[in-house]
A and B are shown apart, each in its own frame.
Chain A
Amino acid sequence: MFNYYFGLAVRSLRRNIVLTVLMIAAVGVGIGASMTTLTVFRAMDNDPIPQKSRQLFAVQIDNWGPDTKSVAAGDKERFQEQLSYIDAVALMNAKAAHRQIAMYKTGAALTPANPQLLPFQVQIRATYTDFFPMFQTPFLAGGAWSADDDKNHADVAVITQKLNDKVFGGGNSIGKTINLDNHEFRIVGILATWEPTPQFYDLNNDTFAEGAAIYLPFTRAIDGQMPSWGNNNCNGDIGQPGWEGRLRSECVWIQFWAELPTPAAVENYRTFLNNYATEQQHLGRFHWPAHTRIRDVREWLAYQHVVSDEYRILVLVSFSFLLVCLLNAMGLMLAKIMGRAGDIGVRRALGASRRAIFGQCLIEAGVVGLAGGLLGLGLTALGLLGLRSLLSEEVSRLTHFSTADIMIAIVLAVVATTLAGLYPTWRAAQVQPAWQLKAQ
């Protein structure tokens, strides 16, 4: 029967081509607008590491206390999102988690071996060896540096494939060195493309950016006095002058992550952190009771407000637009179906049950939805192209259409249009079979 209804739907749609085009256009435009924004929204709201997002935790320790102005009044959840060097080192030494890393963003001038080439700027992430297994970074060659390298503040580096291509023209560059601000670093690993979106592990500056080109041991970067290129927040008290002063200050500039594979581990770590903060209170460093938090990746992204208000509003606006388009299509469907009441009456007289009429009209609505969805896909592609030219490079990275997005568009179009078609269809099923006899 489906084939028959489908054929009828196509025939019926072809009969009143103007109404049909209006309906399909309405659905298509609505789907196009909503899918364009939804695609970007989904990319922003993406879980960048789904297989581990419930096991990786960002760590917060309140080292400024409750009467800090930057802490939102009365909101115990809002406090500094990074750690001081003192706390970062203490937590690294405690090794209370399955894996843990402290890290920060820095940068340098890279001088290519070829003297003809000019030095260029590179973004660097100073971190620990566990960064790589924790975040499951894919290696093209080599691997992470060793725990000993961390301990020895070694001159080693992991670089990205992109940088390897740029500096060495590709190939296996393990063992070669790169020159960063006149210091040579030995390459131990080359990362294949790894661009988690959003860049959950450090959301301070470049939420959707490319990430670092080079990874160095944290201990080595501190030795080299490589300053943080990310957010440094000192809460008024900037500490003593000089690098050593900064390391001993309560300025926060280090991201800290812990891998806690089981609920028990999570609980233990919470306890550990509170004990640590309480100990700091006893030592006289903190003048307030322990105030710490750990948040897994999804909680962290929500907490950090990764999807900006603008995009939430945009999604809201575009889905309201879709609603208008559907109401529109619904009005047109109603007009179309009521215009066909005669035919429906005849069909009813010839033995079509209410259910049959209902099915027939609903499939017609579904066909409109399908056609609208296909049109909408085209418009979404155009819309994303438009966004790419309109928006900054950072956001443009989020304008790519995945297979899932295509599925969502089609399903959304068909389901939404069918829902919009429910009322007209119900009206159609109410047409009395006797109608034609009476109307004479």
Chain B
Amino acid sequence: MEFRPILSAMRRNKVGAILIAVQMAITLAILCNALFLIEQRAGWSKRPTGTDEPNVVVIENQWVGNPPDLSARLQGDLAALRSLPGVQDAASSNTYPLSGGGSTTGLSLKPDQKNATAPASIYFGDEHTIAAFGLKLIAGRNFNSDEIVDKVGYTDIKPPAGIIITRALAETLFPGGSAVGRSIYVDQGQQGQIPIVGVIERMQVPWTGAGGWGSKFSESSLLMPFHFLSSYPTYYIVHAQPGQAAEVIQAAKKKLFDISRARVVEKTLTLTTARAEAYKDDKGLIVILAVVCASLLAVTSFGIVGLTSYWVAQRRRQIGIRRALGATRNAIIQYFQTENLLIAGAGALIGIGLAVSLNLWMVNIFAMQRLNTGYALAGAIVVLVLGQAAVLWPALRAASIPPALATRAA
């Protein structure tokens, strides 16, 4: 296929060709940045929490007033929950992964260190917590029951007998070394030396916002051996036998209200539900971007169909003459496809540049990551294929113009 006649024909339809090329360029720029964002968010919202999500039930419990016997009530509730059929284990905590709210502390290697070595989210719990969440202890030991003490609200400040930390946190604190048996300091050393007694494979922080609080240390969590007693809502973490979460929720609610009605059970849910809620806006963003991308491709291809059809109509006589002079149908189709390839090629080149600069700009303005060049290339291929597909119908129509047209008057 010779390019020269195509180029000279395009020169006469300059603006139309430019419009299509620019459309394709912008389409490409948006497409690959959006796909990149979609991929990132999808990946973000799929990160494991380290818990047995479908079978972990969370029951938010809030006592009415500040009963003096909170400790006994908590122990009673937990014993009752553990005795329910279908329950593997139960514990209480101040928060849970995917909840969106929790507490952070800074861990230091030295007592008087001004700036902490690593931030970490705190989960309060007892010797049942690992089993209740379905966590995996990979080094050291679980808490002993005699290590568990009551903590009455966040203002009740006391040193923990020991802590269990996640592997990610252990690696941040002691790169390459073993954490079990080592000690750290919290709150600028106010609690003294705290021994690390165990390491769990994984436990995500409660916050889930991409780029939000906690996103920089999302795998750094620790367990403290406290029974958290508070006028705040606290959470019972109940590990159900596989597939029995729904029954356990019903039974647990009934049991708790049988024990005492002076409480509020604001919500009960499995961590699977908590995940759906936590990432709802991320999922929404993904769907919106996907819809916009699909519409973008549709609009661009309809635009190509419309404009090419017009060009075909405009050149009917010319095409008839070409046919009369011996051009085959394929030659006519190829003509329009080559023309589109040239336009789309130009659009793709501009588009790749635009995509990269758009991304760089967004990296600067927003908390966005650097675009993988693979996306730009993939986007370019999508745009080129789209152009070829869109031009096919008008090209076929052009090919069906009879050579006899040349002999008729305009």
Q: Do chains A and B touch in the complex (CB under 8 A)?
A: yes
**A336–B16 alpha-carbon span in the complex (Å):** 12
A37 to B, closest residue via Cβ: B288
B243 on the interface (CB 8 Å rule)?
no
Contact B310–A339 (Cβ < 8 Å): yes
B19 to A, closest residue via Cβ: A331
B178 on the interface (CB 8 Å rule)?
no
Which residues 118-171 in A have Cβ within 8 Å of B in the complex? Answer: 118-121
Q: 1/0 contact trace for A285-314 toward B, CB 8 Å? A: 000000000000000000000000110111
B330 on the interface (CB 8 Å rule)?
no
Please tell me the number of chain A residues within 8 Å of chain B, measured between CB atoms: 68
Which residues 86-113 in B have Cβ within 8 Å of A in the complex? Answer: 101, 106
Contact A121–B264 (Cβ < 8 Å): yes
Asked whether A309 and B367 contact (CB < 8 A) given A241-B157, A334-B16, A334-B19, the answer is yes
A390 on the interface (CB 8 Å rule)?
yes
**Residues of chain A contacted by B299 (CB below 8 angstroms):** 25-26, 29-30, 321, 324-325, 328
Q: Which of A111, A241, A331 contacts B303 (CB 8 A)?
A: A331
Contact A324–B296 (Cβ < 8 Å): yes
Q: Which of B23, B232, B280, B296 contacts A391 (CB 8 A)?
A: B280
**Residues of chain B contacted by A182 (CB below 8 angstroms):** 64-65
Asked whether A313 and B37 contact (CB < 8 A) given A69-B115, A109-B65, the answer is yes
Contact A237–B187 (Cβ < 8 Å): yes
The stretch from A91-99, A225-233, A403-411 touching chain B is A225-233
Measured CB to CB, the closest approach of chain A to B316, in angstroms, equals 12
Measured CB to CB, the closest approach of chain B to A46, in angstroms, equals 19
B29 on the interface (CB 8 Å rule)?
yes
B281 on the interface (CB 8 Å rule)?
yes
Q: Which of A121, A245, A318, A334 contacts B292 (CB 8 A)?
A: A318
A243 on the interface (CB 8 Å rule)?
yes
**Residues of chain B contacted by A121 (CB below 8 angstroms):** 62, 233, 264, 266
Q: Which of A120, A243, A312, A391 contacts B155 (CB 8 A)?
A: A243
Measured CB to CB, the closest approach of chain A to B189, in angstroms, equals 9
**A325–B285 alpha-carbon span in the complex (Å):** 21
The size class of the interface chain B forms with chain A is: 35 or more
Measured CB to CB, the closest approach of chain A to B15, in angstroms, equals 6
What is the number of contacts between chain A and chain B, taking CB atoms within 8 Å?
184
Measured CB to CB, the closest approach of chain A to B159, in angstroms, equals 11
Q: Which of A25, A239, A387 contacts B284 (CB 8 A)?
A: A387
**A80–B303 alpha-carbon span in the complex (Å):** 52
Which residues 277-331 in B have Cβ within 8 Å of A in the complex? Answer: 277, 280-281, 283-285, 287-289, 291-292, 295-296, 298-300, 302-303, 306-307, 310-311, 313-314
Measured CB to CB, the closest approach of chain B to A393, in angstroms, equals 9
Asked whether A320 and B362 contact (CB < 8 A) given A22-B302, A33-B295, A241-B157, the answer is no
Asked whether A324 and B280 contact (CB < 8 A) given A67-B114, A182-B64, A310-B285, the answer is no
Q: Which of A25, A119, A317, A323 contacts B263 (CB 8 A)?
A: A119
Asked whether A109 and B63 contact (CB < 8 A) given A317-B292, A331-B19, the answer is yes
Measured CB to CB, the closest approach of chain B to A123, in angstroms, equals 11
A323 to B, closest residue via Cβ: B26
**Residues of chain A contacted by B262 (CB below 8 angstroms):** 111, 119
Q: Which of A239, A246, A323, A392 has the most CB of B within 10 A?
A: A392
| 6 pairs, CB–CB < 8 Å, chain A vs chain B | A109-B62, A181-B66, A227-B230, A238-B187, A241-B156, A320-B30
Known: A26-B302, A227-B232, A238-B157. 6 other contacts (CB 8 A): A25-B302, A243-B153, A314-B289, A390-B288, A391-B281, A392-B280
